[in-house]
Structure 1
């Protein structure tokens, strides 16, 4: 991955570029995938083909509150994930939790509910920092 501000190659997990000190995806001078110069209005990198508009849409959802997402996942397992755009993952968590609760007479909820809450909170924090979140990304 490349810093979108200074083009320095950085780790996928980097929250701040060690060279320029800017958070990835905050500025859009360079493609995050290949480091090519880009225009802020470009929808796609002409060199590597990555969708840049998708990155901007993901960044515009920075209003996700981690506490609210955790609370929603407490009320209904997987709901926080569904609201943050991980719909398939949230539905799988919900259905899996129901099936496990049926076979364990409800005891599995002491495991599945906290995992869902922790995942929703940590994913919401990543989204607030401007990191891209995959459909099946956990924690």
Structure 2
């Protein structure tokens, strides 16, 4: 089989090292001209403020606090970026103050604390009712 008939194989007069160097130089040039980005946010018309969103820059969203507040105003979910209400607000995470919808709240709690409840039972069901029967 010749190299010309092989699909996915490109013949080039330049060496692979020269091509990779040129691509690297182009990437550095575009990175230097790009605008520096701050925290990823989205403007919320209901609150006239910006909602903090997860960009992946600091890894996946990890909550540092268990206590959240259910908010009735519409906000953007930090994880899935949907505009919904009611939504839970958490004061501290690796992305700062965030709002989470119910499915993302459960997944984030499971990732952060190993369970989906804010206050899990430490005992099994039979021992939780001890002395009440």
TM score, norm. by length of structure 1: 0.21
More strand by share: 2
Q: Which has the higher helix share?
A: 1
